[in-house]
Structure formats: C-alpha cells, structure tokens
Amino acid sequence: MSGIAAEGVSRSFGAVHAVRAASFRAARGRVTGLVGPNGAGKTTLLLMLASLLAPDSGTIRIGDVDPIADPLSARRLLGWMPDALGAWPSLTARETIVTTARLYDIERDAAAARAAELLALVGLDELADAPAKVLSRGQKQKLGLARALVHDPQVLLLDEPASGLDPEARVQLRVLLRRLAAEGRTVLISSHILSELEEVIDDAVFLVAGSVVDGAPAQATARAWRIRLAGTDVGRLPADADQVAAALAMEPGTLGIDRNAVIVGFETEAAAAAGLRRIVESGLGVSEFAPAQSALEHTFLNLPRTEPRA
C-alpha cells in the first residue's frame, strides 16, 4: 500500500526555515494538491519526499520505505517530475525516455517499447525524434511527465506539472492524472495556480511560510458570490447593486462590484440559496449567480498566516 506520510518534517538553509514541522498524508488512489504561494516551501518538501534532500528533523514514509534511510527502494516506488525538465539537450525525446528506462534496469527492447507508449500517452509521438533542446516549455513538461512514469511508479511527485501547457494539454493532463489515481497510485501535485488544481484533486495540503496549515477555518468565513442581473451593463451596475441590496435587506452602497457583476458575501451555500430566492421574489431578473471564488481559492485566501520564516 503505497501512500505518503510525513511527520514533523523540517528543513532550514542557514537562517531561512524553508519547511517547519510539516505533517500530512497523501492516500493511495487519490490526487492530493500541495497548495501554497511561491516561496512557501513546496519544492523543498517535494525534494525531501523524493529522497533528494535530507530533512533536518522529522520522518517520511513512502509506503513502508524511509526515503532517507533507503533511497534506492524509495526511488523504485517514486516517479519524480521537477518543475524544470533538466533534460539532456542533445538527446531526442525518445532517447531521453529510453535512457531513463535503462537507468531503471529495463531491458533495451522493453525500454524502446515503453518510450513509444509513453510518448503517445503524453502527446509527443510526433516529436519523438526531435532533440529535447528544441521543445517548447510545455512540450518539455510533457516529456518530464513521461520520464517520471517510465518505471511504472506507484507514487507520483509532480512539481508544477501544468506550467507552460496550453488549455487543451491541461485538460488532457487532468484526465491522465485522474486515470493514474484510479489505477491505485498516489499522486501529489504541487502548484500555486489554484484553478489548475480545483478540478483534479481529491484532497489539499496547504503550505504557508513552510508550515502546513489547517484549511477548516475558512468554512466559517463568508464566501463571495457574483450576481448579474439580466440586461446589465457597466453604467447600470451601481443601480443594480442597490436593487440587490434592497432585495436582501442590506444598506445601499454596501455591496461590491466586479466585472459586470454585483458581489455579495454569504456565510453558507444555504444562505446563498436563500438570498437568490429573495432576489428573484423581489422581481429582479438574474442571469448569473455563482461563486466568485472556487472553494479551493476561498479556503486558501482565508488561511491563518504564520510568522515569516526568516
């Protein structure tokens, strides 16, 4: 059963505490998002999970394996995709995968077959014989994912996997990651772009200033909703906001305006539904009523903040 467990993991670089007593779990068969702003310590934590960096304190388990004590066994379980490929520029995409497979002691014929399979999987089959140095940023990301999958790992550590991908490729990545999780793998994705994570993850680990932070308090915080009245335009928005405020028995001038919509905060989804009912019953025509933030974004923006790391 290959999942990820970290307990009290810390790592400092001089006076900078990159990761501080981080504890979390990522379950088998699920996609877990490692969420945090740039500089939160996500990559440092992933490097420790991948056995490429030793923690100053704490314990890590990849399945039943300690990646610090037994990195070879851990790396047989792990597929690691850094945020930059670091490819051999003179090798073709096919040669990159074959060479990686050979490093995992995969026989030459099997390595060639695996390369063809993976390049087709990530949509690089037409560029299989192009040197890695001519690939775009997004194409290098695809090659990095193929390389991480070469030895059929049970745990995937992906650092900003969607960086540089076009919209179609991002959709394909989401579908692939869900498939890999459905096959029973553990998938941990690091990203600071919440919209990319929202539709693919099952669980989220929030990392702020090197510390894992509980996201539960955000559930009690008012969430912003967008309300657009039928036939509205920019010039009418202040009047629309006052009409919505009147329907909700709120003071005029208290509601926000953003992108041709009125912004209202509701504590719960039930409160939002009741608010919509009151607006409609007041005779206003509603053409849009939706959260202004995704649930993940709302939770992240309302996290308690820790002290600076240095």
Here the CATH number for the domain that contains residue 106 is 3.40.50.300
Q: What is the pLDDT of residue 235?
A: 67
In a shared domain, residues 199 and 224: no
Over residues 126-154, the mean pLDDT reads 92
For the ranges 41-50, 128-137, 294-303, which has the lowest average pLDDT? Answer: 294-303
Domain contains 176: yes
Task: Let me know whether 169 and 225 are in one domain.
Answer: no
User: Residue 81 has what pLDDT?
Assistant: 93
What mean pLDDT is predicted for residues 32-50? 91
pLDDT > 80? residue 272: yes
Residue 309 — pLDDT band, cuts 50, 70, 90? very low
| Residue in the block written with tokens 């074959």 | 98
Please report the pLDDT score of residue 310 as a whole number.
46
- 59, 153: one domain: yes
pLDDT score of 4 more than 60: yes
**pLDDT of res. 42:** 92
Find out whether 203 and 33 touch, Cβ atoms under 8 Å: yes
- Of the pLDDT bands very low, low, confident and very high (cuts 50, 70, 90), residue 246 is very high
What are 206-220's pLDDT values in tens digits?
Answer: 898 899 987 654 444
pLDDT of residue 251: 86
Bridge partners of 188, per DSSP, are 32, 157
What's the mean pLDDT in 164-175?
A: 87
Residues 53 and 171 in one domain: yes
Establish if 307 belongs to a structural domain: no
| Torsion angle, alpha carbons of 144, 60, 5, 14, to 10 | -80
Based on the fold, state whether residues 49 and 196 are members of the same structural domain: yes
Range of the domain at 290: 218-300
CATH number for position 255: 3.30.70
The total domain count for the chain is: 2
Residue 252 lies in a domain: yes
Average pLDDT over residues 259-278: 89
What's the pLDDT tens digit per position in 62-111?
Answer: 999 999 899 999 999 999 999 876 767 889 999 999 999 999 999 999 99
Which one of 7-16, 131-140, 246-255 scores highest in mean pLDDT?
7-16
Q: What is the pTM of this model?
A: 0.79
**Banded pLDDT at 163 (limits 50, 70, 90):** confident
Quick one: 93 and 134 in the same domain? yes
